[in-house]
Amino acid sequence: MTNQEQPVSEFKSKSGLKRIVSALGYSIAGFKTAWKGEHAFRQELFVVVIATIAALLLPVSALQKLLLIGVFVLVLIVELLNSAIEAVVDRVSLERNPLSKNAKDFGSAAVMLALFLAGATWLVILWPLFIDG
């Protein structure tokens, strides 16, 4: 290996269609694991389902519907990333460590910010419907 070559993990995926099929399988496995083991993910998914139904029924533009649904999908994305961080930290060590705490707290803060963004988006879009209208 020359100095320019990067080491490649033995777990690195294949190329072409096989890679796409494998990636889909890994994604489905990730959703199943999140559903089974992450209470916050299940709670947030429930909110996403309710919010999606509500957004589709609201008298707002298609773009606004997309934003109302999209911000809650973003919450799910951030929650999955937070869960991944927590899993890696726990895999490395279950001992209490300030750096491990920081990593987990940063992930939690990211979820909180995503939830604030979702709430603010819903407020801004719905305010004219219920207050001004």
Task: Give 4-70 as a DSSP string.
Answer: TPPP--TT---STHHHHHHHHHHHHHHHHHHHHH-HHHHHHHHHHHHHHHHHHHSSS-HHHHHHHHH
Q: Which of 5, 79, 86, 95 is catalytic?
A: 79
pLDDT for position 43: 97
- Average pLDDT for residues 80-104, to the nearest whole number? 96
Torsion, Cα 36 41 46 49, to 10 degrees, reads: -110
The pLDDT-based confidence of 110 (bands split at 50, 70, 90) is very high
Residue 79 a catalytic site member:
yes
Q: pLDDT tens for residues 8-61?
A: 777 666 778 888 999 999 999 999 999 999 999 999 999 999 999 999 999 999
Report phi then psi at 76, rounded to 5. Answer: -60, -40
Q: pLDDT tens for residues 60-88?
A: 999 999 999 999 999 999 999 999 999 99
pTM of the model: 0.86
